[in-house]
Amino acid sequence: MTCEKAMSLMSAYLDKELGFDEFRQVELHLAYCEACSQEYESLKATKELLGTLRAAELPREFWPELRERLGAVAAEERVAPARARPTSSARRSSARQLWWRGILRRASGGVGGSLFSSPMAKALVPAFLVLVLAALPMVWSAHRRPAEAQMSSRIDSIEPYFRDYVISEYDRPLSDKTSVGFVVTGQAVTMYTSDLLGPSSKVTRAGSLREASPSPPNTAGNEYTLISYPR
């Protein structure tokens, strides 16, 4: 490393703000370069001198004055937005109106009128309709997404029932449940199982239950007492 380069990196070296490679290079250079070592020492002394400056206390009147100024600004802002700026929803709705106006203008004459009368447009209209029909399933599925999200959250709420089921079957290794089903009604989830060896069972739990039931699953009856897992 040249002296010029080392000198330019000296403050960053002093502050340990260099990458490992550069840091090592400067370190090595300083080991044998007297001039750069002096540069380093004097910069270090300058930095230390700055460190002797004491932080001043905040003036006592700082906050009382500022509170007054902040209060005035807050009062001003409470009055101002209503008359000065349109709200964001108002801006959105006016933008929507403009968009609709553009569509309507095109459909009812202007550019649209001449387009619809041309033979090319006559050929384009069926193509456009085909495109719309093709796009419909995509739009439909996009609309269905929230419902799917709802379903997955229902699945999450059903997950504890599987755990209950596993627990209930722990002491019945030979049981053979032929089906497990769930019915979700509002806040309650009901689990139905049918067993080749015993009676069918039904478990119902309100989805909003949070406290845990201390009793273990009752495998003798048709209905289980479930351990409720707090979510």
Partner 1 sequence: MLNTEALAGVRYRENDVRAFEELVRRYDRKLYNVALRLTGNPDEAKDLAQEALLRAYRGFSRFQLGTSFEKWLFRIASNLYIDRLRKQRNVRFESLDEPVPTASGQVEKALPDWSNNPEDVAEQNELADEIQAALQSLPINYRLAVILYDLEGFSYEEISGILRCSIGTVRSRIHRGRRLLREKLAPYVKPAAAAGARW
Instruction: List contacts with partner 1 (CB under 8 A).
Output: 8-12, 15, 17, 42-43, 45-47, 49-59, 61-63, 65-67, 69-71, 73-74, 77-78
Least distance in Å: CB of 2 to partner 1? 16
Q: Whole-number minimum distance, CB 20 to partner 1, in Å?
A: 15
Whole-angstrom Cα distance, residue 195 to residue 230? Answer: 29
The burial class, CB within 10 Å (0-12 / 13-18 / 19+), for 10 is: buried
Comparison of 55 and 147: residue with beta carbon closer to partner 1:
55
**Of residues 72 and 121, the one with the C-beta less far from partner 1:** 72
Closer Cβ to partner 1, 35 or 188, answer by number: 35
User: In the sheet that 177-185 helps form, which strands lie side by side, from edge to edge?
Assistant: 177-185, 188-195, 201-206
Q: Is 121 left (phi over 0), alpha (psi -120 to 50) or beta?
A: alpha
- Residues 202, 224: Cα–Cα separation, whole Å: 7
Taking the complex as a whole, the smallest distance from the CB of residue 43 to partner 1 amounts, in Å, to: 6
> Distances from the Cα of 153 to the Cαs of 136, 147, 176, 202, in angstroms?
27, 10, 29, 22
Q: How far apart are CA 182 and CA 193, in angstroms?
A: 9
As a whole number of Å, the end-to-end CA separation of the chain is: 62
* Choice between 49 and 127, CB closer to partner 1: 49
CB of 147 to partner 1, least distance (A): 31
43 vs 184 by CB, closer to partner 1: 43
Q: How far is the CB of 59 from partner 1 (least distance, A)?
A: 5
Residue closer to partner 1, measured from CB, 61 or 211? 61
Give the nearest distance from C-beta 14 to partner 1 in angstroms: 9
